[in-house]
Amino acid sequence: MLFRSGLGHWAILCNGNYVGWGGFQKEVSEWDYGLVLTPQHFGLGMIITKKAIAFAIADERIPFVNFLLPPSRKNFGALTKLGAIFLGEIEYQGAQFLKYRLGTEPN
């Protein structure tokens, strides 16, 4: 896995091949994390997310990370395994999302 540039969106490569994009986006005073993978690479989501979270933990500008997921999503086991907590439903640009937060302060 290779992440390009600093904060913002990254092109994500695996073995030199493009597998998707993702990264951190600041929304007012909070950081959101997003990840979009090509369908044949969906299985890499947790591996990539763990590397991104390690990046956030090492960056003092990011005290926590938000995850916004569509209400149609039913499986949240991966987020809870990471330690993210459910904050509630929010509306963002006219769409409903489930908001989760993960603290990134080093232990």
Q: Which amino acid is at 92?
A: Y
Q: Give per-residue pLDDT as tens, 72-85.
A: 887 888 888 889 99
pLDDT of residue 2: 43
pLDDT of residue 76: 81
Burial class (CB in 10 A: 0-12, 13-18, 19+), 25: middle
pLDDT of residue 106: 67
- Closest by CA position to 34, among listed 58, 4, 10: 10
Task: Give 10-residue mean pLDDT values along the chain (107 residues).
Answer: 58 94 88 93 92 90 92 85 93 93 84
pLDDT of residue 63: 92
